[in-house]
Homo-oligomer: A and B are copies of this chain.
Amino acid sequence: MTRKKTSADKGLDFGILPSLAGYQLRLAQIAIFRDFAAALGEFDVTPGLFGVIVIIDANPGLKQSELARAAHLDRSTVVSVIDNLERRRLVERRPAENDRRSNALVLTPDGIALLKKLKRRVGEHEKRLVEHLSEEERVTLVTLLQKIFPEQR
């Protein structure tokens, strides 16, 4: 055990990559996405979709364009996302009160019920994510990530 453990198998050299925050973020992202898919794939919900459902739940009646900004998506992308969720009877488009151009988005009872299950699964997923971190380290990680893009909350 004298050679530094590199990755995978064959002792490949990753050059400058491991020192780059952007690369480590990317690796973490890839692994998270896979664990998330394994944990919630059964419900056909990706991290992005989960975020959309949480945001609608927390802001019932919000408009599609508000959701677009919040979720970092184009308005046109939101159309297909909501089409998808509406087809699955998880979300409803209602006429907005003071603006006949807008839709007011709300979760259906099915959506609310699913969200409850999803939250439990995501909680377990998060626990796996940070299982090698102490509680203090976990808080530090979240804080540092927030600091990277303070404008984003």
Task: Flag if B140 contacts A55 (CB, 8 Å).
Answer: no
Measured between beta carbons, the chain B residues less than 8 angstroms from A43 are none
Task: Flag if B129 contacts A21 (CB, 8 Å).
Answer: yes
Task: Flag if B19 contacts A142 (CB, 8 Å).
Answer: yes
Measured between beta carbons, the chain B residues less than 8 angstroms from A29 are 25-26, 29
Shortest Cβ distance from residue A139 to the other chain B in the assembled complex, whole angstroms: 10
Q: Knowing A12-B62, A66-B12, A144-B137 are in contact, say whether A126-B47 is a contact too (CB < 8 A).
A: no
Say whether A13 faces chain B, with CB atoms less than 8 Å apart: yes
Say whether A1 faces chain B, with CB atoms less than 8 Å apart: no
Tell me the interface secondary structure of chain A in the complex. helix
Say whether A38 faces chain B, with CB atoms less than 8 Å apart: no
Q: How many angstroms between the C-alpha atoms of A14 and B140 in the bound complex?
A: 20
**A residues 36-92 in Cβ contact with B at 8 Å:** 36, 47-48, 51, 54-55, 57-59, 62, 66, 69-70, 72
Measured between beta carbons, the chain B residues less than 8 angstroms from A54 are 14-17
Say whether A97 faces chain B, with CB atoms less than 8 Å apart: no
Q: Which residue numbers of A lie inside 8 Å of B, CB to CB?
A: 5-10, 12-32, 36, 47-48, 51, 54-55, 57-59, 62, 66, 69-70, 72, 119, 122, 125-126, 129-130, 132-133, 137-138, 140-142, 144-150, 152-153
CB-CB nearest 3 A-B residue pairs: A15-B58, A24-B145, A13-B58
